[in-house]
Amino acid sequence: MFSIVLNIIGTLLHLYVAARLATLPAIGSRIAPRAWWSGVLFIWLVYIAGVHIGDEALDWRWWPGQFALTWLGIVVVMALPLLAVDIVTGFGAWWRAAVPALRGGAALAGLLLAAFALFQGMRAPVVVEHEVVLRNLPGALDGTVIVALSDIHLGAQRRSQWLGQRVQQINALQPAAVLMLGDLVENDPVRDARLAPTLRALEAPLGVWAVTGNHEFYGDVDATVREFQEGGVRWLRDRQVELAPGLMLAGIDDIGAAMRRGDKLTTGLARTLAVPAAAVAGTGTGTRAATILMAHIPATGVVDAAGALGVDLMLSGHTHGGQIWPFSYAVQRRFPRFVGAHDIGGMILYVTRGAGSWGPRMRLWQPGEIIKLTLRAPS
């Protein structure tokens, strides 16, 4: 159903942008209508073929698949200024003498926006630094550095070489632990012999940890888990571990997969945090350990339940920060806390916009990010 709706939207936007560009004197005076619309039809056929072929295969099928995704992003971005001009001019009914110039300016603005979105989507993710006070963090762990990244979507667009560059970025931050927050693959296992040695190059004394996202379950999740385990990544699938004395790390499986099994939204969370953190840590002091929770999707029910269960810091991804404006408004309606830091009754929730992208390799406005978190004990 989703792909059908996406195809309809992509087709309508493609025709809309083509129709508006055809009215520009620079195009109408140089290209015959039959030639123009033949070209429009050809591009649409390539787009539809690419949608159905997909972009996962690393052979000739990669090109139409990538074209389809990129073209969808371009027509979305180009349609925005063209639609703004149509609204201002009553779809050409008002200020008729100025309409061609306004549409020409809107088309140029759309091209520049699309180019910027491509640049933001293809550039290296930026490092965003935060200091986070955890209410239960022991003083001995004050200053501990945690690096988190999400939504890298390894597959046709990003491979082990891209990941190797991210490993260099992460190691430069000298983290105690690296946390991978799901959607590590696009759909299928990476099946790249370079993946394991690339992952083993991560330098984190307290380990590299991961949770599943929804995209892991679109392919062979068990094979993906094994691939990353071969690189030294340890998965938290509805369980928690003692990361350091007084600091617990918990992780839950993708809630979408859990719900497809018939579980409730918070079943995995309740099972994971059923044992109090102090008991798991074995402190014997009665002092509660600080708890960090990794959960790919920042669903409101999970966020509220995590706060009620005494989690100190919850880390999520999934939303991509909206990725391409104005979709950010639709994402925010689904996930009110869809990007950045939020205080949930004393629990800090951080939702990262992710290091990679989904669909078009485009981002408007913000680039991808890697999060450096410096943990602070209460003063």
Is the pTM for the entire model greater than 0.75? yes
Closest CA to 179 of 356, 350, 371: 371
142: part of which helix (H) or strand (E)? none
Q: Which has the closest alpha carbon to 366: 318, 321, 316?
A: 321
Compute the distance between CA of residue 316 and CA of residue 344 in angstroms, rounded to an integer: 14
212-242 residues labelled b (16+ CB within 10 A) or e (exposed):
bbebbbebebeebbebbeebebebbebbbee
Q: What is the pLDDT of residues 48-93, one digit of tens each?
A: 888 877 666 566 777 888 888 899 999 999 999 999 999 999 988 8
pLDDT at 167: 97
Q: Are the C-beta atoms of residues 376 and 140 closer than 8 Å to each other? A: no
> What pLDDT, in 10s, does the model give residues 162-182?
999 999 999 999 999 999 999
Distance CA 213, CA 295 (A): 8
Residue type, 94: W
Provide CATH 3.60.21.10 ranges for the chain. 126-376
Q: What residue ranges of the chain have pLDDT lower than 50?
A: 278-286
Output the pLDDT for position 57: 58
User: Per residue, what are the HEC states of 174-240?
Assistant: CCCEEEECCCCECCCCCCCCCHHHHHHCCCCCCCEEECCCHHHHHCCHHHHHHHHHHCCEEECCCEE
Superfamily holding 126-376: Metallo-dependent phosphatases (3.60.21.10)
Q: How far is CA 289 from CA 27, 29, 226, 306, in A?
A: 67, 72, 30, 15
Q: Output the six-digit token pair for 293.
A: 């929770």
> In 3-state terms, what secondary structure has residue 70?
helix
| Percent of the residues in the chain that have a pLDDT greater than 90, as a whole number | 71
Task: Note the pLDDT of residue 106.
Answer: 95
Q: Are 167 and 135 in contact (CB under 8 A)?
A: no
CA distances (Å), origin 74, targets 14, 179, 237: 9, 33, 38
Cβ contact 208:232 at 8 Å: yes
